[in-house]
Amino acid sequence: MELASLPLLFLLSMTFAGVSNAAGGIAVYWGQNTAEGTLAATCATNNYAYVNIAFRNVFGSGRTPTLNLAGHCNQASGTCATFSAHIRACQSSGIKVMLSLGGYVGNYSLSSADDANQFATYLRPFGDAVLDGIDFDIEIGGSAHYDDLARSLLNLGQVSLSAAPQCIYPDQSLNTALSTGLFDYVFIQFYNNPSCDYRSGVNGIVSSWKQFTSGVTATKFFVGVPAATDVKGYVPPDVLTSQVIPAVNGSPKYGGIMIWQRYTDVQTGYSTSVKGSV
């Protein structure tokens, strides 16, 4: 049997141990700029506990599923399979590797429960590597059938699920999926939304955090922040460590922070600045 035709049960593993209750971890989105370095080099920094490969941004409704990794590899020529070794290198260091679906630029939607089920069986683009899970970063195309996709993924095998909702609660694209209670990790995007990002003060962030942690059933929640200073809602590292994290890390559901994205983190050193306090 060809590896590409194997069911997801054999393609994804439940190796996601999660971060300790005593401290949080850092998640980062990687894949949107070749200047950010390789996946293996990203993991070798030891700054991150989770790396979300971003994005599979074309799928569903009859579309050919497509990866957009901004020049890191070319799906059509098969070069994305070379990431197998990189993924295994990350995992050998205890870093969990997720494939992120969606993003704010793309062409994706799910037309039916059957469409969701068919897409679930497809999700394995990196040669013989075994991904730790699937991340839902759904920002366009509607909310329909992502709950079906979550169920289909879990029915096919043990796999961790994460989601990256906007900080406005409930998130219009992901609320139906999150309402299933099937997600392990929730990376809340506290940026580009003035009512709940740092432009509304730390209290705005904390208020949204409490809404998500009380309204969504998930194992761990993460404070999502941009590494680039020009992104709206940017939280200075000293504010994050002295004000934001102390306000939320007392929750048993606190998992750490999520950084958008690796390329700008390389430029600003954001993760290095905060990792000792996460």
d(CA 225, CA 228) in angstroms, rounded, equals: 9
- Rounded Cα distance, 117 and 81, in Å: 23
Single-letter amino acid code for the residue at 149: L
Structure tokens at 156: 């096919």
- Environment class of 174 (CB within 10 Å of its CB; exposed 0-12, middle 13-18, buried 19+): buried
- 108 three-class SS: strand
Buried b (16+ CB within 10 A) or exposed e, 45-73: bebbbbbbbbbbbebbeeeebbbbbeebb
**Among 160, 167, 138, CA closest to 226:** 167
For the chain, counts of helices (H) and of strands (E):
10, 10
Output Rg (C-alpha) for the chain, integer angstroms.
17
Catalytic residue among 36, 132, 135, 139: 139
**Other beta carbons within 10 Å of 97:** 26
Active site residue 139: yes
Three-state DSSP at 85 gives helix
246 preceded by a cis bond (ω within 30 of 0): no
> DSSP string spanning 223-275?
EEEESSTTSTT---HHHIIIIIHHHHTTSTTEEEEEEE-HHHHHHH-HHHHHG
Q: Which residues are catalytic?
A: 139
